[in-house]
Structure 1
Amino acid sequence: MPLFLSLVYLLFRRALTVAALRVRSREFKELEIVVLRHELVVLRRQVARARLTEPDRVFLAAASRLLRGTGWQSLLVRPDTLLGWHRQLVRRRWTYAGRRPGRPRVSEQLGELVLRLAHENPRWGYQRIVGELAGVGVRVSATTVAKILRQADVPPAGARAGLCWREFLRAQAQSMIACDFFTVETLWLGRLYVLFFIELGSRRVHLAGCTANPSGAWTAQQARQLAWSLSERLTPIRFLVHDRDSKFSRVFDEVFRSDGVEIIRTPFRAPQANAFAERWVGTVRRDCLDWILIVSRRQLEQVLRVYVDHYNSHRPHRALDLTPPTPERRLRLVSSHPPDHLHRRDLLGGLIHEYALAA
């Protein structure tokens, strides 16, 4: 609308100018034409390119059809400029508003979904990701998937499929178990040895026993008792990790080898090679043994059995999303509001507390 009004105003002014020229003499008109042409020459020397509005272009295009011969010299534009304006009008006519050339842009949700599948499955290539998305009703081409991964600096499947030690241990953790000894000093300055096993996948701890003289025969007997209980597992144990302590004798290893378990000995003076067992030793000391005076082996066994039961069934574990290794079925809150009644259970004389919803 503003363009139309501007064009009407410009035409009205030109009509008034033509009417005023009719009352002037011919000599005056010719003199004025000469002056205007000279001003046009001066203007062309000072301005390299004049800025024309849409009404100016419409007027000059219409006037060009009326001028003949030397009249073209009076125009600010050349014939190829008029042809260029015409080509622009043709392009505008056949240009659809609101539509960009090329393929439609990929949505952010689809990009995030492709990156999620690529990160969670490093061995999947472009075609596998396309097929997996097609299975859930998302249609996308392999070229689009490759472009999304390339823009996010995600390498191809061959470079992403490298297996690190962390991923290897997580994949094998369900079939691995570790064992170790730790010592406890009694009130009478005696030393007791504690043998335990820990499942690397579930972090479940098995207390084998306590003794003041851990001989090879005693260690082998504890291994037999544990092997009998592990035979009921759905996932069989394939690897046993322990250090090179002489208390782990050949008989101890043969008990597990007879069940198809491979023995892995850690290097010398490398406690981090058996990090899960070493970490549990620190946990049981900080939570329990550092706060109790142990008098006898029987008391130590009773304390450790209570703590191991608490550790396996109640104590939250960060590696298990703050759930215990073998959680018991308990009443859980549905809402985010704190409960009105909590029941507290004291263990080891109040050293450890367990909380549950009151019935």
Structure 2
Amino acid sequence: MGLPPDPPPAASPREVPPGELAALGIKVAASTVWKIPREHGIPPAPKRQSTTWADFLRSQAAALLACDLFETRTPTGARMYVFAVIEHSTRRIRILGATAHPTAEWIVPLGRNLVMDLEDAGSNARFLTRDRDAKCTAAFDALPADAGLKVVTTGIRMPRMNSLMERWIQTCRRELLDRTLIRNQSHLLYALREFETFYNEHRPHRTLKQAAPLRALPEPISVPAHIGHMEVPRRDRLGGTLREYRHAA
């Protein structure tokens, strides 16, 4: 007769999955669960149930507005400040005002104008994101709150929480302010109004599949031969800084 087979080796607690240990009545600390995969070179599992901030912004775009106050300078070094608001879903921009001396008293009427404009446009926005600028006081926050908008302040040194507004400011600088010599406040307001109209009514947006916030795309041309007979005049704004292309009337 042969010798009986050797019993299987006993597994140490370190070789048993944590879930199985719990079934055996062995309580495992969270630090132990974290330590074992690390020692074996196993990376953490992805957070499958988590939602990133970018995912949240995309899913809630129709209810979100964002605002910010940013700075520009004239050739003489004078500082000018611009206050603007953008809609997440449509990318429509509203430039509310510009001044050389931004104060809390100056911003409050701009908030009132914003609320009236949103009401006239039938906006469904429910949240307004802003940074922690001290110029946006409780008096400013009360205006959108009365209109059903909840003001959400960004975290400290977390510009990505207001990323869409920051991206628009970058676009405004690159396409307008960095290419224009701004003389004074009235000239700045004029240039910004021209850019606002261009941005909302003409400039193609990749996120909108090349449409503009206030301009839907036309029906595609179904006959290729018609493309060769198109007349497309160009309209220059601000001396050619901004260019628009349209069908001839």
Residue 213 of structure 1 deviates from its aligned partner by: 0.9
Q: How does 1:183-332 map to 2 (within 5 A)?
A: 183-327=71-215
Normalised by the length of structure 2, the TM-score is 0.75
Separation in structure 1 between the aligned mates of residue 229 and residue 70 of structure 2, nearest angstrom: 40
Q: How does 1:46-65 map to 2 (within 5 A)?
A: none
In structure 1, list runs of 5 or more residues that go unmatched: 1-158
> What's the counterpart of residue 4 of structure 2?
none
Residue aligned with 2:120, SS: coil
**Mapped contact 2:200–2:214 kept (Cα < 8 A):** yes
Residue aligned with 1:281, SS: helix
**Mapped contact 1:339–1:357 kept (Cα < 8 A):** no
Count how many residue pairs are aligned between Structure 1 and Structure 2. Answer: 201
Residue 209 of structure 1 deviates from its aligned partner by: 0.3
Output one character per residue of 1:200-221: Cα deviation in whole Å (capped at 9) or x when no partner.
1111000100011111111010
**Mapped contact 2:235–2:245 kept (Cα < 8 A):** yes
Distance 1:342 1:208, change over 3 A: same
**Mapped contact 1:182–1:195 kept (Cα < 8 A):** yes
Distance 1:256 1:269, change over 3 A: same
Work out the percentage of aligned pairs sharing the same amino acid.
Answer: 36
Q: Is 1:358 paired with 2:245?
A: no
Residue aligned with 1:327, SS: coil
Residue 355 of structure 1 deviates from its aligned partner by: 0.6
Structure of greater Rg:
1
Q: How does 1:94-105 map to 2 (within 5 A)?
A: none
Separation in structure 2 between the aligned mates of residue 307 and residue 284 of structure 1, nearest angstrom: 8
Normalised by the length of structure 1, the TM-score is 0.53
Separation in structure 2 between the aligned mates of residue 328 and residue 306 of structure 1, nearest angstrom: 20
Q: How does 1:58-97 map to 2 (within 5 A)?
A: none
Output one character per residue of 1:250-279: Cα deviation in whole Å (capped at 9) or x when no partner.
111011111121111101111111100000
Residue 319 of structure 1 deviates from its aligned partner by: 0.8
Separation in structure 1 between the aligned mates of residue 79 and residue 119 of structure 2, nearest angstrom: 33
Separation in structure 1 between the aligned mates of residue 80 and residue 198 of structure 2, nearest angstrom: 22
Separation in structure 1 between the aligned mates of residue 155 and residue 48 of structure 2, nearest angstrom: 30
In structure 2, list runs of 5 or more residues that go unmatched: 1-46
> Given residue 283 of structure 1, which amino acid in structure 2 is its aligned partner?
T
Separation in structure 2 between the aligned mates of residue 164 and residue 331 of structure 1, nearest angstrom: 36
Separation in structure 2 between the aligned mates of residue 270 and residue 164 of structure 1, nearest angstrom: 14
> Given residue 247 of structure 2, which amino acid in structure 1 is its aligned partner?
L
Residue aligned with 2:178, SS: helix
> Hey, which of these two has a bigger chunk of strand by percent?
2
**Mapped contact 1:332–1:357 kept (Cα < 8 A):** no
Residue 171 of structure 1 deviates from its aligned partner by: 2.4
**Mapped contact 2:211–2:217 kept (Cα < 8 A):** no
Separation in structure 2 between the aligned mates of residue 246 and residue 162 of structure 1, nearest angstrom: 32
Distance 1:173 1:296, change over 3 A: same
Separation in structure 2 between the aligned mates of residue 330 and residue 346 of structure 1, nearest angstrom: 22
Distance 1:167 1:335, change over 3 A: farther
> Hey, which of these two has a bigger chunk of helix by percent?
1
**Mapped contact 1:197–1:208 kept (Cα < 8 A):** yes
> Given residue 245 of structure 2, which amino acid in structure 1 is its aligned partner?
Y
Residue 309 of structure 1 deviates from its aligned partner by: 0.5
> Given residue 65 of structure 2, which amino acid in structure 1 is its aligned partner?
I
Distance 1:328 1:304, change over 3 A: farther
Residue 351 of structure 1 deviates from its aligned partner by: 1.5
Q: CA RMSD in A?
A: 2.1
> Given residue 311 of structure 1, which amino acid in structure 2 is its aligned partner?
Y
Residue 357 of structure 1 deviates from its aligned partner by: 1.2
Separation in structure 2 between the aligned mates of residue 331 and residue 345 of structure 1, nearest angstrom: 22
**Mapped contact 1:240–1:261 kept (Cα < 8 A):** yes
Residue 339 of structure 1 deviates from its aligned partner by: 4.1
